[in-house]
Every structure is written in structure tokens, then in C-alpha cells.
């Protein structure tokens, strides 16, 4: 598919407007490619294979990846490229700007005909996401954020939860981490599994999830766009030490992360650190 998105020079780059428009069009066109092979309630029509490491990939993942690389690199040629479905081009490490992309986050859900999969695109500048989109086309949910301009869901402003108490909070995450938190904090409202990690985190930004827990080894493409959405919605995503993730490093994997509204964040970090036998600063005792 050819794109009508024009390239533009770095000296006229407007991250909050021109790039946002680029992302809007690219995400929606990419969704059309994926939806052509999506079968709600049934297995995808796309060919599926197993990647090294055992995770599945479909021809739809690869088609979306090719399309996004074409149009985003055309629109912003000075940016590097990092995607789950592309060989890692380490030239990205020399660039101030980098596209960080997951063509289909929640591939297993996509393959099985479940609707909770997303297309994730972020532009990272100097290690931080500055524009991002998490789009769940089968659910008609379009989350977006631009640095300093807030976060939106389907064009409407969103805000993270203002809840202060972890006991009774709506929490999403892997069972092991949920068990740890619940032993320390008391009963949680455990939310149903959300196959797309990016969608789980975007729902924290929306305020529908009070806290989201992320196991170690999540990659840049899983979290960069959602990180910005949470931050611009007034929430936080951090390591157990309270540090915000840095992106476009040599190794794109991350340690355990916690996402929540600001009022709940310190308490959630303290609870999980205690449950994992770590000190207040997040170091192992």
C-alpha cells in the first residue's frame, strides 16, 4: 500500500501536530491491514508461524510492520526504527529520534479472534516518548498522547485514577505479581486478563484500571506509547525504584514495572517491594 503521507524536514518538525497527524493516519491504515485477516471469535485467516523463542507471529503482524516502517520512515526519515517484528538496526542508537512500534500487541489474541489486541506506535526523543498511539481497532478504542498536551481516548480527554488505597483497588497484571501484592495489601479487585500489555496500561491512563503490574522483560515496543498516555493522563509508570523507563537503549527490555494514578503509586511500589523482599529503595535485602 502506497502512502500519501509527505516527508518533512527536521528543522520544521512539530512533534505535537505534524507527527500526531502522521500517527493518526498510519495507525488507522495499519489497522485496516490487520482487520483484513482478523476473524472475531474465530482463528485468523493469516498464516501463522512460530518465532525463535516460541512466540507466534502472523503474516498480518509482518504486513503491518512493513507498512508502518515504510510510511513512518518516509514521514520522518531522520528517526531510527525499533520494532518487535524487525531485525534490530543498531543505527537507531546514534539517532536522537526513534520510532518504537509493536505492529500487533497481543498476537495470540489476534490469532484466536479475541478483540483485545492493539497497534502501538511511539516516537521517542532522547530516550522518552513524546508522541504515542495505542489503537485497539476491534474494540474501537484509540488512545493517544502528545508530550505536554494530555491524553485522549477517541478524542476525549482522559485521566488516571485518583484512588489512594491499594486494598480494594482494581488491579491488572500477571497472577504472580497480583498474589504478592494481595498478600501484603489485602483483597484486590482482580481484573480479567488483558492480552495486550499496551491496552492494560492504556486503561490505567483511562482510569478504568487503578494499577497495572508488568513482569520483567517487557520490551520498549510493549510500553513506550502507553507510558506517555499514562503520564499525560496524570499517572505514573515506573520501575520498583520509582524511575521512569528510558527507551531506545542497547537492550530494549525492562525490569518489573508498576503503573497507577499518582496518588496510589508510592503505596503500590512500597507494597510490591515489601512482597518481593526488597528495601525501600528497591534493592534486595
User: Into how many domains does the chain fold?
Assistant: 2
Residue 247: pLDDT over 80: yes
Residue set of the binding site:
84, 102, 104-105, 222
Residue 2: pLDDT over 70: no
Q: Looking at residue 220, which CATH number applies to its domain?
A: 3.40.190.80
Separation of alpha carbons 236 and 139, rounded Å:
25
Among residues 78, 101, 83, which one has the least CA distance to residue 26?
A: 101
**Rounded average pLDDT over 3-26:** 64
Residue set of the binding site for Mg(2+):
84, 102, 104-105, 222
- Check residue 16 and give its pLDDT: 60
Based on the domain organization, do 214 and 153 belong to the same domain? Answer: no
- Check residue 282 and give its pLDDT: 39
The predicted model scores a pTM of: 0.92
String of b and e for 178-209 (b: at least 16 CB within 10 Å)? bebbbeebeebeebeebbbbbbbbbbbbbbeb
Based on the domain organization, do 31 and 120 belong to the same domain? Answer: yes
Domain extent for 249: 170-275
**194-245 confidence digits (pLDDT tens):** 999 999 999 999 999 999 999 999 999 999 999 999 999 999 999 999 999 9
* Opening angle at CA 69, ends 249 and 205, nearest 5: 60
Based on the domain organization, do 60 and 182 belong to the same domain? Answer: no
**79-137 confidence digits (pLDDT tens):** 999 999 998 889 999 899 999 999 999 999 999 999 999 999 999 999 999 999 999 99
Amino acid at each position: 500500500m502506497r502512502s500519501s503521507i509527505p516527508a518533512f524536514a527536521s528543522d520544521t518538525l512539530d512533534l505535537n501536530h505534524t507527527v500526531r497527524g502522521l500517527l493518526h493516519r498510519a495507525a488507522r491504515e495499519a489497522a485496516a491491514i490487520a482487520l483484513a485477516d482478523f476473524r472475531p471469535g474465530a482463528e485468523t485467516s493469516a498464516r501463522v508461524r512460530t518465532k525463535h523463542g516460541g512466540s507466534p507471529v502472523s503474516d498480518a503482524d509482518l504486513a503491518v510492520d512493513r507498512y508502518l516502517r515504510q510510511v513512518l520512515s518516509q514521514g520522518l526519515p531522520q528517526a531510527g526504527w525499533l520494532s518487535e517484528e524487525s531485525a534490530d538496526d543498531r543505527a537507531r542508537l546514534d539517532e536522537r529520534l526513534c520510532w518504537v512500534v509493536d505492529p500487533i500487541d497481543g498476537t495470540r489474541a489476534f490469532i484466536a479472534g479475541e478483540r483485545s489486541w492493539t497497534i502501538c506506535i511511539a516516537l521517542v526523543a532522547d530516550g522518552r516518548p513524546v508522541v504515542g498511539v495505542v489503537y485497539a481497532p476491534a474494540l474501537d478504542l484509540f488512545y493517544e498522547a502528545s508530550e505536554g498536551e494530555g491524553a485522549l481516548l477517541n478524542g476525549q480527554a482522559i485521566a488516571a485514577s485518583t484512588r489512594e488505597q491499594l486494598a480494594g483497588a482494581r488491579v491488572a497484571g500477571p497472577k504472580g505479581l497480583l498474589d504478592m501484592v494481595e498478600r501484603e495489601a489485602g483483597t484486590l479487585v482482580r481484573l480479567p486478563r488483558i492480552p495486550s500489555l499496551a491496552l492494560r496500561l492504556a486503561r490505567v491512563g483511562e482510569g478504568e484500571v487503578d494499577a497495572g503490574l508488568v513482569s520483567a522483560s517487557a520490551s520498549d515496543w510493549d510500553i513506550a506509547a502507553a507510558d506517555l498516555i499514562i503520564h499525560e493522563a496524570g499517572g505514573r509508570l515506573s520501575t520498583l525504584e520509582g524511575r521512569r523507563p528510558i527507551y531506545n537503549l542497547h537492550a530494549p527490555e525492562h525490569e518489573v514495572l508498576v503503573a497507577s494514578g499518582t496518588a496510589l503509586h508510592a503505596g503500590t511500589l512500597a507494597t510490591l517491594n515489601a512482597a518481593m523482599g526488597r528495601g525501600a529503595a528497591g534493592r534486595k535485602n
